Amino acid sequence: MNNAPPPATRRWALKLEFDGRDYVGWQRQDHSLSIQQVLEEAASRLFRKQAVTTITSGRTDAGVHASGMVVHMDVPADKDISACSMRDGINFHLKPHPVVILEAAPVSLEWNARFSALWRRYRYTILNRPSRPTFTEGTVWHVKPPLDAEAMQKGANYLLGRHDFSSFRAAACQAKNALRTLDELTITRQGELIIIETQARSFLHHQVRNMVGTLSLVGREQWRPEKMHEVLKACDRRLGGPTAPAGGLCFIGVGYPEDPFKIT
């Protein structure tokens, strides 16, 4: 019987940026490549093939991007490494994947990228013009008909606060209930782009994409803004609008009681 104590570990927080087009999302899967697998294999190579596991602040679906996802990773404590070396070393082994570490910082073993988080923030981008995208292909939702951003904002306002979001919840969602508190949902036009940003402590599976797809009907003037309130109160996904494509969605930030990357 082996009574040896478990090896000492050190926990690191990592901030990620990635293009999710060629991946099945964050979570490891048996037969397809995920962001989690790419990251853990790169970190394992940095730490001489030792197994490395990561926990994320929020999962992403296939095709969804990130510019500010935070994960934590436990590594052997016997390897002395600086934050810059951690970032640059993993980034070296991540090539040629479009996944990079923006920042790295040591944290306590009690700190958790998922459970310590106070809020998550997403941005959805719509390219609203007749011509298809070129440079932004795969990172926007191309909608040809003109969208009324002001009407969309009026509809979005009905979703703010604490509600049962069953009408915007994917059938495969595994959350125990659909009650969520939506702190922000802002819609602005910037030239040919419609920018939608939303923030909450947590989101249901496909909630953001389903809200965007439903709001697009308001923007096309197929629905009046007040219809959003009716759909919300119905608690029936069948009454909502379409699910917006994954490519327009980006995980842009997560908040903690104290920023682990802040230099003191």
Q: What's the CA gap between 82 and 63, in Å, rounded?
A: 32
Of 19, 22, 30, 61, catalytic: 61
206: which 2 tokens? 């496909």
Alpha helices in 30-186 (DSSP H): 35-46, 83-94, 149-157
pLDDT at 6: 52
Q: How far, in whole angstroms, is CA 119 from its chain's centroid?
A: 11
Altogether, the residues listed in the chain come to a count of 264
Confidence of residue 163 (pLDDT cuts 50, 70, 90): very high
Known catalytic membership, residue 61: yes
Looking at the predicted structure, is the pLDDT value of residue 264 above 70? Answer: no
How far is it, in rounded angstroms, from Cα 160 to Cα 122? 15
Instruction: Dump pLDDT digits (tens) for 68-111.
Output: 999 999 988 877 889 999 999 999 999 999 999 999 999 999 99
Q: How far apart are CA 57 and CA 70, in angstroms?
A: 6
CB 122 within 8 A of CB 249: yes
Residues 16-67 have pLDDT tens digits of 999 999 999 999 888 899 999 999 999 999 988 788 889 999 989 999 999 9
What are 115-158's pLDDT values in tens digits?
999 999 999 999 999 999 999 999 999 999 999 999 999 999 99
- According to DSSP, the residues that pair with 166 across neighbouring strands are none
- Predicted confidence (pLDDT) at residue 250 exceeds the cutoff of 80: yes
Place of tokens 């994320």: 56
The predicted-structure confidence for 183-209, as pLDDT tens digits, reads as follows 999 999 999 999 999 999 999 999 999
The rounded distance, in Å, linking the Cα atoms of 48 and 40 is 12
CA angle (28 as vertex; 22, 29 as ends), nearest 5: 80
